[in-house]
Chain A
Amino acid sequence: KAGVTQTPRYLIKTRGQQVTLSCSPISGHRSVSWYQQTPGQGLQFLFEYFSETQRNKGNFPGRFSGRQFSNSRSEMNVSTLELGDSALYLCASSLAPGQGNSPLHFGNGTRLTVT
Chain B
Amino acid sequence: AQSVTQLGSHVSVSEGALVLLRCNYSSSVPPYLFWYVQYPNQGLQLLLKYTTGATLVKGINGFEAEFKKSETSFHLTKPSAHMSDAAEYFCAVTANSGNTPLVFGKGTRLSVIA
Contact = CB atoms under 8 A, between A and B. Distances in A.
A56 B101 CA distance: 7
A90 interface: yes
Interface centre among B41, B45, B96, B101 (most CB of A within 10 A): B101
Interface residues of B, number: 26
Interface residues of A, number: 24
Q: Is the interface of B mostly helix, strand, loop or mixed?
A: loop
B34 A33 contact: no
Contacts of B28: none
Contacts of B105: 42
Interface string A89-115: 010100001111101111111000000
14 contacts: A33-B101, A35-B104, A42-B90, A42-B106, A56-B99, A90-B43, A98-B97, A99-B94, A99-B102, A100-B52, A100-B96, A104-B44, A104-B102, A109-B42
